[in-house]
Amino acid sequence: MDANKPAGATLRRRILGAALGVAGITLTGRIHAAAGRAGSRALEFGVVPYLPTARLLTVFEPLRVHFATALQRPVVMSTAPDFKSFQRRALDGAYDLYFIGPGPGWQIHRDRQHLVAAVAKATLRILLLVAQAGPVQALADLRGKTLATIDPLTVTAQVAMAALREQGLMPGNDVSMRIEKTPFNAAQAVALGDAAAAACPDVAWPSLPAELREKLHILYRSEELPNGLLMARPARDAPSLEAIRRAVFEFSASPAGEIFGKESALAGFMPPDMAALTRLDRFLPEVRRVMGRSA
């Protein structure tokens, strides 16, 4: 086990043989596959924890299977207990391939020269959720109240805080900030009355339970932003960028990929427009500050 990975933080499955049958689930957050050439190093495939762990690993499992088949290598899929842990592992080179949010992924591209293999087709908007028929009818009504959000490292939190500042509200002073592990936890805090509003990426909104969505109202939608990035760490014993792109675009065009696109709310993957992604430069200072790293 990775010495930096807390025991019990995530779920683990072992998937063996060409049939890839599930042999068991433990609590370490890694999925092992035995497909691929005997003796080849397993590729580490990381997925940022933007959904509850069990749901996350279930949704991304078809992509892991496709990578193992198309790249003819064993593929080990894992997540992390939180966004900062995932970012630290990615910065430290723990993953050969990984799916990550746009701001954090762009930092690793800029600061570690990791490659952007693909971008989610669906654009990203950040939502601010409030209780249906509740007292908060405008952003200004959040003064003196609590906003639940996910890690300050994420674009979700950064856009939410920028929206508050545009209304003359200082996060942490005029509006208390409550940090939750996942968008589900943030939204649930509103439903339970523990927060007046929650920041949530629109990709996570469809995955919230229907009974939870029925209790919430979308107060604010941000402008469109580039969505999650599929990244590749350059290494001599890793597949080429061309092979990775070929595999992921084949997957996106397949029936399994269409299902994945709906269940992940990412709509599949497309080639990156690197010029358009430079819009993410504005998030670099805050991401670096949160991670305690400079360029």
In order of their start, the domains of the chain are: 12-123+226-291 (3.40.190.10), 126-221 (3.40.190.10)
pLDDT at 288 over 60: yes
pLDDT at 28: 32
17 pLDDT band, cuts 50/70/90, is very low
pLDDT band, residue 37 (cuts 50/70/90): very low
Task: Provide the token pair at 116.
Answer: 């952007």
Helix and strand totals (H; E) in the chain: 10, 14
Helix (H, G, I), strand (E, B) or coil at 225: strand
**pLDDT of amino acid 60:** 97
Quick one: pLDDT at residue 57?
A: 94
pLDDT of residue 36: 42
Confidence class for position 14, pLDDT limits 50, 70, 90: very low
36 dihedral zone (left: phi>0; alpha: psi -120 to 50; beta): left
What span, in angstroms and rounded, lies between the C-alpha atoms of 217 and 208? 13
Q: Which amino acid is at 86?
A: F
The one-letter amino acid at 101: G
pLDDT bucket at 50, cuts 50 / 70 / 90: confident
Question: pLDDT band at residue 25, thresholds of 50, 70 and 90?
Answer: very low
Q: What is the DSSP string of 228-291?
A: -EEEE---TTS--HHHHHHHHHHHHHSHHHHHHHHHHTS--EE---HHHHGGGGGGHHHHHHHH
Instruction: Count CB atoms within 10 A of the CB of residue 101.
Output: 29
In percent, the amount of the chain with pLDDT more than 90 equals 76
Beta-bridge mates of residue 46: 78, 98
* pLDDT at 7 (0 to 100): 36
Please choose, from the candidates 54, 32, 57, the residue with its C-alpha nearest in 3D space to the C-alpha of residue 43: 32
Residue 138: helix, strand or coil by DSSP? coil
Is the pLDDT at 116 greater than 50? The verdict is yes
Contact 30, 77 (CB under 8 A): yes
Q: How confident is the model at residue 142 (pLDDT cuts 50, 70, 90)?
A: very high
CA-to-CA distance for 198 and 177, rounded, in angstroms? 10
Q: In what order do the strands lie in the sheet with 12-16?
A: 21-26, 12-16, 30-33, 75-78, 43-47, 97-100, 229-232, 115-120, 269-270
Would the pLDDT of 120 be above 90? yes
Residue 31 has pLDDT above 50, yes or no: no
- Tens digit of each residue's pLDDT (9 = 90 or more) over 147-169: 999 999 999 999 999 999 999 99
Hey, how many other C-beta atoms are within 10 angstroms of the C-beta on 223?
9
Q: Show Cβ contacts of residue 106 under 8 Å, excluding neighbours closer than 6 positions.
A: 229, 277, 280, 281, 283, 284, 287
pLDDT digits (tens, 9 = 90+) for 93-115: 999 999 999 999 999 999 999 99
Range with the poorest average pLDDT among 16-25, 165-174, 191-200: 16-25
Q: If DSSP codes are grouped into helix, strand and coil, which group holds residue 16?
A: strand
The tokens for 200 are 């949530």
pLDDT higher than 50, residue 195: yes
pLDDT of residue 236: 93
Distance CA(178)–CA(277), nearest Å, equals: 29
pLDDT at residue 35, rounded to an integer: 39
Least confident of 186-195, 248-257, 280-289: 280-289
pLDDT reading at 21 higher than 50: no
Strand partners, 99: 47, 230
pLDDT surpasses 90 at 1: no
**pLDDT at residue 12 in the model:** 35
Confidence of residue 58 (pLDDT cuts 50, 70, 90): very high
**Over the chain, what is the mean pLDDT?**
86
**Other Cβ atoms within 10 Å of 40 Cβ, number:** 12
pLDDT of residue 13: 33
Higher pLDDT, 234 or 293: 234
